[in-house]
Amino acid sequence: MLTQSIFGMRGIAVAPHSLAAESAIAVLREGGNALEAMIAAAATIAVVYPHMNSIGGDGFWVINGPNNRPGGIDASGRSAQAASRAWYASRGITSSIPFRGSVAALTVAGTISGWGAAYQLSKQCLNGKLPLSRLLADAVYFAQHGIAVTQSQEACTALKRSELEPHSGFASTFLPQGIVPTKASIFKQPKLADTLSLVAQQGCDTFYRGKLAKMLGAELAEVGSPLTLADLNAHQAKLVDPLHTKTTQGQLFNMVPPSQGLLSLLILGIMDRIHGWDQDPEGAAFIHTQVEATKLAFSIRDQYLTDPAFMSVAPQDLLTSARIDALAARLDTTRAAPWGQKTSPGDTIWMGVIDQAGIAVSFIQSIYHEFGSGVVLPHSGVNWQNRGCSFSLNPGHINTLEPGKKPFHTLNPALAQRADGGVMVYGAMGGDGQPQTQATIFNRVTRFGDHPQLAIERPRWLLGRTWGQSSDSLKLESRFSANTIDQLRALGHDVETIGAWDEGVGHAGMLIRHANGVLEGGFDPRSNGAVASF
């Protein structure tokens, strides 16, 4: 394929569905800023890519603000106050929380609070003037009048139908006339249109403390979720300072816990200390080094990462030079370390926007698994996330369930202030594949000299599982050379080949604002995405 990157001067956006990128650019053309543009894109993607995300999920923002000041928004929700281990035990659930159904819908959906926080930041810091009704207009239209079903939506619905059809509201929402919507057919979501219209009219706070919140509280009780109106009332998005580390390529930023943004920074920090792998962007040395760095980063995650209120060490302290040096010293460039752990699948969208002033947003929004809990609330049409099923019911586990606790998140949007004066936002969907793909495309651009589109289009790999997969092998797209595959097996990796352009390696995207102001971006042809610019 090997197409070229897209360029712009006044604004650029990337999304895994072209309509979301177009929504962002339309806002920028009307004088909106990057925060306003991302709100529009986030609302649109929640409608046009419904198997991948929803307003019933969580979101994280990492922002390059005025004068290159970094910032972030944590729009993730806590578990219900009623959601205790005893609550589950009383229902006969003692080993693990089910992935689907009302008992999996146990955490507040935070994403709309993130839209609200971004909207306020836009007004207070960036002179934002566009009304929320304008920013949500495309999403309302698409929900009311319909979208063209993608092949991805059709395939995902068919694959998960038997698992999801029994759950409240799924069939009536996602199986109109009792059948899987086919590619290029028209799919409407009228209840969601009404809900988005209410948010547009009354503001994002209505989802938590207004008319809509009262409706949601009643609906959640009706379907058997432990969440209540009081849980919604208590929720607030939080402004945070992102985690950061410095490498020879620049200053790197990612989201604080409960996000696993730490992993992306650790992988890149470890690789920055290892030499000899950066000769071939599709070679075994690159893949081996990154896979081994990934294993080391996972070991830190599994030991420390959870809701920061429950962590024993400050997250930024896990990124000291001494700690990363020690991890890098353990990496064996000649042999694969043992790997037997189960990784987390996930289903997410990542998007980026950069405006003419250099305000850049790296954004991720998710309902965790495909279609989240599978529960669609009967009146609002909100498909609720199942992020809380990642909690453990083992009281000794670092991510054990407690009332009012944030679950561990695979979500992590990345941003870099490059050593050459440029700014980059990049990311991917796909559970534990996210930090791996981030490191892959970042290194291909900064170490191998790829342009963003080439970095994304080259064949990719994944250690473990992601969306739609069940095995934990090292998976390589079949476009890799036989020599690369043979070398990796010789190094001790359990290699499995997957499709040539496999969605399992995630939907990646990247935008760069070069030091001279030129904007450049690449999107993932494995998705229905696009880069839009002007």
The structure tokens 């395939």 sit at 155
Strands 414-418 and 250-254: antiparallel
Q: What is the number of other CB atoms lying within 10 angstroms of the CB of residue 342?
A: 11
3-state secondary structure of 340: coil
Strand ranges (E), 358-428: 360-368, 414-418, 423-428
Strands 474-477 and 461-463: antiparallel
To which H or E segment does residue 233 belong? helix 229-233
Catalytic residue of the set 348, 440, 466, 484:
348
DSSP states of 33-75 as a string? -HHHHHHHHHHHHHHHSTTT--TBSEEEEEEE-GGG-EEEEEE
Residue 365 CA to residue 285 CA, distance in Å, equals 33
To which H or E segment does residue 78 belong? none
Laid out side by side, the sheet with 474-477 consists of 461-463, 474-477, 495-498
Of 505, 501, 509, give the one whose Cα is nearest residue 467: 505
Residue 480 CA to residue 496 CA, distance in Å, equals 11
To which H or E segment does residue 250 belong? strand 250-254
Contact criterion met (CB below 8 Å) for 206 and 199: yes
3-state secondary structure of 5: coil
Known active-site residue 348: yes
Residue 534 CA to residue 518 CA, distance in Å, equals 11
Count of helix runs (H) and strand runs (E) in the chain: 18, 19
- Would you name the residues annotated as active-site residues? 348
